[in-house]
Structure 1
Amino acid sequence: MARDVSDATPLSARSELIEWFSAGEKPHDAFAIGTEHEKVPFYRADHAPVPYEGENGIEALLEGLRGLTGWETIEDAGRVIGLSAVEGGGAISLEPGGQFELSGAPLPDVHATAHELSQHLDAVGRAADPLGIGFLTLGMSPKWTREETPVMPKSRYRIMKGYMPKVGSLGLDMMLRTATVQVNLDFASEADMVTKMRVGLALQPVATALFANSPFTDGKPNGFLSRRSEIWRDTDRDRTGMLPFAFDDGFGYEAYADWLLDMPMYFVKRGETYHDVSGASFRDLMAGRLSALPGERATVSDWANHASTAFPEVRLKRFLEMRGADVGDAAMIAAQAAFWTGLYYDQGALDGAWQLVRELSAEERETMRAEAPRLGLDAPAGKRTLRELAHDALALAEAGLKARARRDAQGRDETLHLAPLQAIAATRTRAEDLLALYHGPWNGSVDPVFGACAF
């Protein structure tokens, strides 16, 4: 989850909320790629979860990484909960269950994203190895129960942990046991945002299927290829889902802002204190009538932080976030960035992607979303399957990346990063590979994943 924003500029009008989104517009030649991924830490010796405290815990890992990178600490109530690059915009943060997240810097191409990731994994490995810590390349921790999973000392997570069970049965699993990869991409105008939002929402089930990589829970198969994705379907319906209103005539910044205004709040941060206002209305904060904070009025920070607590399949902030994929290995993390960059950053590919999905009905999109976690590429996609749609989307992404013609030091364009996805579309998902191993050579044990699926 994103690091909280600090901007005390007061907000007094609904139009200012809308303008906050439009301020993210960029010219095409300034478009960047920001990749984020989470990874679940474990002790290599016994496959146990890693607590925050202790000489071999998460806190010690952060301190070791700080020494290697020179990054500045991010603290919450005196506890180190992350690191921030002195220059360049990258950050490391902790998810509620100790998932280690890199929020990458805005970069010009997928090659740079892959290089950033390689440097990060090298530094994390050097800090983690002396502590006996490894990291899973799975979309969900495969073995530990909720109760066995440690909770990180972040104030906002205490508020969310109390609120989540009131609005869904799986929110705590989402917080504590899942891991994702997302890419953040830019838009040039409101019309460009709308097209990208619609394409991203309609094709997000394709990404869910291609990246399905979380078939185990509590030490056994869970009945899904992407249990992480299924968990989001029963987390909090007020702030998740496929945003059907994004396909309505007239959709734009205003409609998304109104959706956020109708979405209950989690917290208001003042100074270093998180005030629990869970369930309250942002409209009441703007009017100064929150019962928990009488007279307190909304700031830009409050709006940015509130926007970061919405969890739809594609999230709008001052860029668009693609949120439908399980994390995988380094090649899959780069592949996720390549897939959406190819579709979004070439106009021909974007237009082609919209043609692919424009005739899908709201009901068909919802069916795709509902079935992708269980059936993967065999899920229905209107009159087709997600596998057929994936082949067409990958062809468009490949054409878009070729048209961008961004080359690495060896002269290769960004299409090389699509290779893992092209192989999956032609065969089967990583989750299906893992299930075959579980029922075959692994003899019904998930423990081998800690060797086979680890950074």
Structure 2
Amino acid sequence: MSTRETSSIDEPAIEGMEDLVAPMLRGEKPASDWRIGTEHEKLVYKRKDFRAPSYDEPCGIHDLLMNLREFGWEPVEEGGKVIAMRGEDGTVSLEPAGQLELSGAPLENLHQTCAETGRHLEQVKKVGEACGVSYLGLGMWPDKTRDELPVMPKGRYEIMMRHMPRVGNLGLDMMLRTCTIQVNLDYSSEADMVKKFRVGLALQPLATALFANSPFTEGRPNGYLSYRSHIWSDTDPHRTGMLPFVFEDGFGYERWAQYMLDVPMYFVFRDGKYIDAAGLSFRDFLEGRLSVLPGERPTASDWWDHLSTAFPEVRLKSFLEMRGADGGPWSRICALPAFWVGLLYDQGALDAAWELVKDWSMEERERLRNEVPRLALDTRLPGGTGTMKDLGREVLGIAHGGLAARSRLNSSGDNETGYLETLDEIVATGKVPAQRLLDAYHGEWNGDISRVYKYSF
């Protein structure tokens, strides 16, 4: 989740739709300037007892952040508390229960992306080693209850945690217990954004299936392969889901802005503090009728904050965010951007991917999204034409072609297709990561969930 440092009170107020679509228009870039931004979260635990460390304890989350200064990272504070570290590789920030996230820098190719990921993991492992701390690459805490987890000192989290139980049953689980990998990608025009958004949304269930990695809750199998994905189905219906309007004629920047205006607010940031506006209307804010800031109208920074508070499977700001994957180890952190770059950054691949999904009905898209958390690659495709495994084989073939066409080579002369190998293996075997974990749990682990901690980074 985003980190704010300054207030927006001195900025001019938003005047109308032109200002509301401005962030999306500013995102337009020629293909030569397209970049890849990768975000990935990891679960933090004490090796001695597998406990999630609190913020303030010795060698807790605060100390881990501050120890990253050794590698040139600089602290970012909110209310006198360090809540993030900023450096050349982006931002290391805190998720609600102390999950560490790297929001990576915008990079030109996947070789740079995977190198950035490797640097980050080596750095956090080094500071963790000194504190008896390690990290898990899973989509969800496998054994922790909500009450066993700490809460980090970020003002927006306090507001969100109060609001979540009002609108869904699993929002607190989303905040406290889950981890994800996300990819941020560019577009050249409104039409290019629309096509990428539609392909990304239609194929997000396939990404969820390939990366499914959260089969345990509180020490036992939970009946899902991606429980993290299931959690989003009961978090907040006003700001999640498959967004039928994206596939309707006329979809574009203005339609997205209208959708976001109807997403209830969480907060307003003023004077270094978050003001609780949970459930209030941004439309009222535009009219100066927000009850917590009477007479005040929003600025561009307020709108940017609000754009970060919707959580559909794909999200638009000044770039497109692909949001459907569970957290995982280094190889899958590299594989997710490879998957989406291969499909969306080559026109031939984008066209081929759209041909695969363009005739699906909204009902069929919703069914895939709802069944994949349980069935993953065994989910049946629309029209009884096969399973997600079959689709995965075809889509990965398109992604390979898209990456090959980009011809971005490393110093050894390799293109970017190698980063798809871990997904090729998943499709070839038909076993997603969660199924391998379940095999181990029922086999060599003999039901001992603590054995999952051998899967540390």
**Does the pair score TM above 0.5?**
yes
CA drift of 1:21 comes to: 1.0
Encode CA deviations 1:137-190: one digit per residue, 9 max, x unaligned.
Answer: 100010110000110010000000000000000000000000000010000000
SS at match of 1:39: strand
Correspondence for 1:164: 164
Residues 214-293 of structure 1 mapped to structure 2, 5 A cutoff: 214-293=214-293
Matching residue's letter, 1:247:
F
Correspondence for 1:444: 447
SS at match of 1:184: strand
Conserved 8 A contact 1:97-1:151: yes
Q: Does 1:127 align with 2:127?
A: yes
**Alpha-carbon separation, structure 2, partners of 1:42 and 1:296:** 44
Encode CA deviations 1:69-99: one digit per residue, 9 max, x unaligned.
Answer: 22221111101111111xx460010000110
Correspondence for 1:13: 16
Q: Which residue of the other structure, out of 31, 34, 59, is the alignment partner of 1:31?
A: 34
Conserved 8 A contact 1:138-1:179: yes
Q: Which residue of the other structure, out of 391, 416, 419, is the alignment partner of 2:418?
A: 416
Correspondence for 1:45: 48
Conserved 8 A contact 1:378-1:385: yes
Correspondence for 2:179: 179
Conserved 8 A contact 1:12-1:298: no
179-188 or 284-293: which moved more? 284-293
SS at match of 2:449: coil
Any runs of at least 4 consecutive aligned residues in structure 1 with deviations exceeding 6 A, and if so which?
none
Encode CA deviations 1:239-275: one digit per residue, 9 max, x unaligned.
Answer: 0001110000010011111000001000000120110
SS at match of 1:181: strand
Encode CA deviations 1:276-328: one digit per residue, 9 max, x unaligned.
Answer: 01001111111111111111110111110100011000000000000000011
2-11 or 141-150: which moved more? 2-11
**Alpha-carbon separation, structure 1, partners of 2:54 and 2:196:** 40
Gaps of 5+ in 1: none
Correspondence for 1:328: 328
Correspondence for 2:408: 406
Conserved 8 A contact 1:5-1:305: no
CA drift of 1:15 comes to: 2.2
Over the aligned positions, Cα root-mean-square deviation in angstroms equals 1.0
Encode CA deviations 1:33-71: one digit per residue, 9 max, x unaligned.
Answer: 0000000100111111111111110001111112x1222
Conserved 8 A contact 1:365-1:381: no
CA drift of 1:5 comes to: 7.4
How many equivalent pairs are there? 451
Change (3 A) 1:177 1:17: same
Correspondence for 2:151: 151
Residues 327-366 of structure 1 mapped to structure 2, 5 A cutoff: 327-366=327-366
**Alpha-carbon separation, structure 1, partners of 2:4 and 2:187:** 22
CA drift of 1:454 comes to: 1.0
SS at match of 1:268: strand
Change (3 A) 1:89 1:131: closer
**Alpha-carbon separation, structure 1, partners of 2:104 and 2:282:** 29
SS at match of 2:173: helix
How many percent of aligned residue pairs carry the same amino acid?
Answer: 55
Correspondence for 1:78: 80
Conserved 8 A contact 2:5-2:272: no
**Alpha-carbon separation, structure 1, partners of 2:89 and 2:420:** 26
Correspondence for 2:308: 308
SS at match of 2:269: strand
CA drift of 1:409 comes to: 1.3
SS at match of 2:198: helix
Matching residue's letter, 2:425:
A
Conserved 8 A contact 2:209-2:373: yes
Correspondence for 1:62: 65
**Alpha-carbon separation, structure 2, partners of 1:319 and 1:212:** 25
Change (3 A) 1:204 1:392: same
Conserved 8 A contact 1:200-1:322: yes
CA drift of 1:22 comes to: 1.1
Conserved 8 A contact 2:5-2:78: no
SS at match of 1:93: strand
Gaps of 5+ in 2: none
CA drift of 1:101 comes to: 0.2
TM-score by length of 2: 0.97
**Alpha-carbon separation, structure 2, partners of 1:444 and 1:321:** 37
Q: Does 1:379 align with 2:379?
A: yes
Residues 83-98 of structure 1 mapped to structure 2, 5 A cutoff: 83-85=85-87, 88=88, 90-98=90-98
**Alpha-carbon separation, structure 1, partners of 2:382 and 2:232:** 22
**Alpha-carbon separation, structure 2, partners of 1:202 and 1:13:** 31
TM-score by length of 1: 0.98
CA drift of 1:389 comes to: 1.2
**Alpha-carbon separation, structure 1, partners of 2:396 and 2:90:** 28
CA drift of 1:426 comes to: 1.2
Q: Does 1:190 align with 2:190?
A: yes
Q: Does 1:202 align with 2:205?
A: no
SS at match of 1:188: coil
Encode CA deviations 1:110-132: one digit per residue, 9 max, x unaligned.
Answer: 11000001111111111111101
Matching residue's letter, 1:187:
Y
SS at match of 2:238: coil
